């Protein structure tokens, strides 16, 4: 197995599924001839033709709405929204339509679409190229929201998402695209949606996180391990619906929980994780639940010191871990 | 009205069209009665738009083509195979409601075996679904079309523009039929759009546009038939505006007080069912006894469908938790 990047792993998954299933097609802005602004879909139009890797007009509701129509007719569209920040014009199609088609038709119809979008900051993207939008979609039953943290998970979860018979939002951390590399299983490889994953076993405290913050948390845990601290890292992988069982199991085991997200603190996915722990693990806890997140400002600023102030990083996580360890 | 033979329809076709129009009207009228009797919480009507709907439906291939309709399309979905019992089970929100299992208000049509895509209440989203279905037909080289319908108010929504633009770019086999009944609840056309004919917008999308009398089922048939031909021959999408009449209030929760009594009375002169019947008598297509027989036949059908739906059980309370995802019921 060769080492490949998070981005290459996603490309591999798309290529694998397009080669295997003729019903899979890609649509989005600049995904065809250019191969995407991040080059995730590079080469796919050449290989599978203009109709199966289509450059759409600049209209997000159209991208998602037509994907829904094709999906209801039996296709497996993978729609790309160029930046997660621009998914908002399509929210009516996602929340009012895709999420409700199976339910409102009592199972007569279903909507197997995947919507991919790069999210997250730390790349000088400013307010409109840095946002974490997962919380907007993570209280809508009918949707699945997946955020991989490693190249292997990215490949395995994307293949699972394409094969899933319900709508899946697949958010890819854009800073992870070229930063993270590892050996990734070749060929057919799936990772189950809806299952969290213990990325590091530990006994002292539990860090629950997802996305790029998993890598940052692992770095921080590694540093602290030199002082004998034993930290567990639970990667949610699917932020909706949540894997309650894994959250409860890990929180109960260590009794000390730090929740880390790059999203704004208030009303993030971690607010629900916190509620799950409070409801189920209160008597196992040895410290209050702690959170580390972006500040409650509208979005990430451009200028470097302000951007760093917003972003979560290994130093901030390490500091918060120590605080919890010493509690 | 156009001459039915000149648009390629036989006398028997005309009789079948009239039957579907009348059956839909009778179902619709019965639902209003049931609403006023306190038995149904809500009704939204097709009355006055049956000619447009049946004319359009008749021009399509029910086996192959797909509908992405809107809430007034009772006559259209009836033509495509929705049965009176299915309509009544939906109206009463009873178990066995094929459209939504009692989840949605009536008028939210859906039935996979009859190629009727599921609809929500947010208007105009259905246009993109039809365009997406048409993209599938193009991808797979299938000679099929998708028909979507909407009121003229929905043409103000972004999805209308986004969908037609995309359909124009890719010459997709989709037909967008505006059932222009001149009111979006209470808002009249002059506050909805500034162009004289909405069909003129077709030019801006690089597609064929047509403007027809929606009270004339033969005119609508002719326009949709031609649109279907173009669509399956790779000549692209069509935007058809059928000028129609809304004979009822917007819904059972609307008092219609924004229209004068005079205006509402005048609308009855444009009742497409009356016009159709007059045409059939004038052309000797059917006689009094035929009309009486049809009335009697439908009286029984509507009565039975109502009774059977009323007697059916409600879905179980816990059915509210089903069909959220494929693999598991929620809760």
Interface with B, mutate which of A18, A69, A195 (most B CBs under 10 A): A69
In chain A, ranges of CATH 3.40.50.970 domains: 3-183
What does the pLDDT look like over A229-282, one tens digit per residue?
Answer: 999 999 999 999 999 999 999 999 999 999 999 999 999 999 999 999 999 999
Question: Chain A within 8 Å of B292 (Cβ-Cβ)?
Answer: no
CB contact under 8 A, B125 and A65: yes
Q: Is the pLDDT of residue B253 over 90?
A: yes
Average pLDDT, chain A: 98
A205 and A324 in contact (C-beta within 8 Å)? yes
Nearest residue in A to B114, CA atom: A108
The pLDDT, as a whole number, for residue A124 is 96
The share of chain A scoring above pLDDT 70, in percent, equals: 100
**Distance (Å, rounded) from C-alpha B173 to C-alpha A251?**
55
CA-based nearest distance B217→chain A, Å:
28
The pLDDT, as a whole number, for residue A1 is 77
Question: SS3 for B44?
Answer: strand
Cα distances from B96 to residues A102, B103, B112, in angstroms, run: 16, 11, 14
DSSP assignment string, B11-38: HHHHHHHHHHHHHHHHHHHHHHHHHHTT
Instruction: Among B111, B127, B323, select the one facing A103 at the smallest CB separation.
Output: B323
B236: left (phi over 0), alpha (psi -120 to 50) or beta: left
The pLDDT, as a whole number, for residue A2 is 82
Partner A, chain B 74-133, Cβ-Cβ below 8 Å: 97-104, 108, 110-112, 117-118, 120-122, 125, 127-133
What does the pLDDT look like over B81-95, one tens digit per residue?
Answer: 999 999 999 999 999
DSSP assignment string, A171-206: EEETTHHHH-EEE---SS----TT--EEEE--SSEE
Instruction: Among A57, A75, A142, select the one facing B165 at the smallest CB separation.
Output: A57
CA-based nearest distance B7→chain A, Å:
32
In chain A, ranges of CATH 3.40.50.920 domains: 197-325
Q: Is the pLDDT of residue A321 over 80?
A: yes
The pLDDT, as a whole number, for residue A80 is 98
Element housing A238 (H / E)? strand A238-240
The pLDDT, as a whole number, for residue A109 is 98
The domains found in chain B, sorted by start residue, are 11-310 (3.40.50.970)
ipTM of the complex: 0.97
Instruction: Among A59, A67, A70, select the one facing B162 at the smallest CB separation.
Output: A59
Cα angle at B75 between B145 and B253, to 5 degrees? 120
CB contact under 8 A, B120 and A100: yes
CB contact under 8 A, A68 and B100: no
CB atoms within 10 A of CB B291: 15
Q: Is the pLDDT of residue B330 over 50?
A: no
Positions of B annotated as catalytic residues are 246, 250, 258
Element housing A310 (H / E)? helix A304-310
Element housing B63 (H / E)? none
Pairing of strands A24-28, A76-80: parallel
Contacts of A82 (CB under 8 A, 6+ apart): A28, A29, A30, A36, A37, A117, A118
**In this structure, is the dihedral angle defined by the CA atoms of residues B185, B186, B187 and B188, taken in order, positive or negative?**
positive
Instruction: Among B112, B118, B125, select the one facing A92 at the smallest CB separation.
Output: B125
Q: How far is CA B242 from the centre of its chain?
A: 12
CB contact under 8 A, A71 and B110: no
**Distance (Å, rounded) from C-alpha B194 to C-alpha A297?**
41
What does the pLDDT look like over A91-111, one tens digit per residue?
Answer: 999 999 999 999 999 999 999
CB contact under 8 A, A72 and B330: no
What does the pLDDT look like over A26-39, one tens digit per residue?
Answer: 999 999 999 999 99
Task: Give the CATH number of domain A197-325.
Answer: 3.40.50.920
- Which residues of chain A are within 8 Å of residue B145 when distances are taken between CB atoms? none
The pLDDT, as a whole number, for residue B329 is 55
> With bands split at pLDDT 50, 70 and 90, how would you rate the model's confidence at B327?
confident
CB contact under 8 A, B322 and A107: yes
What does the pLDDT look like over A108-160, one tens digit per residue?
Answer: 999 999 999 999 999 999 999 999 999 999 999 999 999 999 999 999 999 99
Average pLDDT, chain B: 97
Closest by CA position to A8, among listed A193, A169, A161, A155:
A155
**Distance (Å, rounded) from C-alpha A175 to C-alpha A118?**
9
- Which residues of chain A are within 8 Å of residue B325 when distances are taken between CB atoms? 102, 142, 144, 166
CATH 3.20.20.220 fits A3-183, yes or no: no
> With bands split at pLDDT 50, 70 and 90, how would you rate the model's confidence at B331?
very low
The pLDDT, as a whole number, for residue B162 is 98
Positions of A annotated as catalytic residues are 129
Query: Taking residues B214-237, what's their average pLDDT?
Result: 98
């Amino acid at each position: 197995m060769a080492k490949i990047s998070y981005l290459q792993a996603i490309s591999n998954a798309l290529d694998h599924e397009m080669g295997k299933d003729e019903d899979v097609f890609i649509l989005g802005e600049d995904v065809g001839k250019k191969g995407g602004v991040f080059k995730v879909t590079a080469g796919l139009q050449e290989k599978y033709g203009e109709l199966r890797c289509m450059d759409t007009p600049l209209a997000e509701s159209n991208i998602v709405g037509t994907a829904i129509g094709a999906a209801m007719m039996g296709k497996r569209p993978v729609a790309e929204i160029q930046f997660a920040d621009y998914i908002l014009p399509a929210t009516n199609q996602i929340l009012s339509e895709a999420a409700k088609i199976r339910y409102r038709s009592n199972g007569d119809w279903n909507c197997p679409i995947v919507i991919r979008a790069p999210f997250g900051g730390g790349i000088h993207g400013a307010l409109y190229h840095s946002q974490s939008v997962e919380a907007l979609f993570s209280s809508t039953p009918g949707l699945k929201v997946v955020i991989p943290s490693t190249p292997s998970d990215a490949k395995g979860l994307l293949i699972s998402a394409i094969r899933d018979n319900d709508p899946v939002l697949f958010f890819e951390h854009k800073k992870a695209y070229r930063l993270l590399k590892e050996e990734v299983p070749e060929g057919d490889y799936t990772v189950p949606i809806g299952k969290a994953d213990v990325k590091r076993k530990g006994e002292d405290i539990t860090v629950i996180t997802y996305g790029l913050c998993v890598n940052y948390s692992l770095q921080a845990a590694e540093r602290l391990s030199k002082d004998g601290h034993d930290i567990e890292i639970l990667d949610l992988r699917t932020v909706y619906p949540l894997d309650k069982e894994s959250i409860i199991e890990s929180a109960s085991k260590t009794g000390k929980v730090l929740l880390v997200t790059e999203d704004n603190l208030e009303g993030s996915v971690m607010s629900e994780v916190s509620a799950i722990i409070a409801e189920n693990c209160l008597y196992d806890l040895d410290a209050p639940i702690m959170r580390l997140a972006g500040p409650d400002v509208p979005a990430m600023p451009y200028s470097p010191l302000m951007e760093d102030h917003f972003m979560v990083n290994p130093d901030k996580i390490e500091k918060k871990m120590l605080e919890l360890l010493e509690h | 009205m156009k001459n039915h033979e000149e648009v390629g329809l036989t006398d028997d076709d005309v009789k079948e069209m009239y039957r579907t129009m009348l059956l839909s009207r009778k179902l619709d009228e019965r639902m209003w009665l049931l609403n006023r009797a306190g038995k149904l919480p809500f009704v939204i009507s097709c009355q006055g738009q049956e000619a447009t709907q049946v004319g359009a439906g008749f021009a399509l291939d029910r086996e192959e083509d797909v509908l992405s309709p809107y809430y007034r399309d009772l006559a259209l979905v009836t033509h495509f195979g929705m049965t009176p019992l299915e309509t009544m089970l939906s109206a009463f929100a009873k178990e066995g409601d094929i459209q939504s299992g009692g989840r949605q208000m009536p008028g939210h049509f859906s039935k996979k075996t009859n190629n009727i895509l599921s609809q929500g209440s947010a208007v105009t989203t259905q246009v993109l679904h039809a365009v997406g279905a048409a993209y599938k037909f193009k991808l797979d080289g299938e000679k099929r079309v998708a028909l979507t319908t909407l009121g003229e108010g929905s043409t103000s929504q972004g999805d209308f523009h986004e969908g037609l633009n995309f359909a124009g770019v890719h010459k997709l086999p989709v037909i967008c039929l505006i059932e222009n009944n001149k009111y979006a609840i209470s808002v009249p056309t002059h506050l909805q759009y500034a162009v004289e004919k909405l069909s003129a917008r077709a030019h801006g999308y690089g597609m064929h546009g047509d403007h027809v009398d929606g009270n004339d089922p033969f005119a609508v048939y002719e326009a949709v038939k031609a649109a279907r031909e173009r669509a399956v021959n790779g000549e692209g999408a069509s935007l058809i505006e059928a000028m129609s009449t809304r004979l009822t209030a917007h819904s059972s929760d609307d008092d219609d007080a924004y229209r004068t009594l005079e205006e509402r009375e005048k609308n009855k002169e444009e009742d497409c069912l009356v016009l159709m019947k007059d045409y059939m008598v004038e052309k000797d297509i059917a006689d009094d006894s035929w009309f009486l027989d049809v009335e009697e036949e439908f009286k029984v059908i509507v009565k039975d469908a109502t009774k059977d739906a009323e007697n059916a059980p409600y879905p179980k309370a816990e059915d509210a938790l089903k069909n959220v995802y494929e693999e598991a019921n929620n809760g």
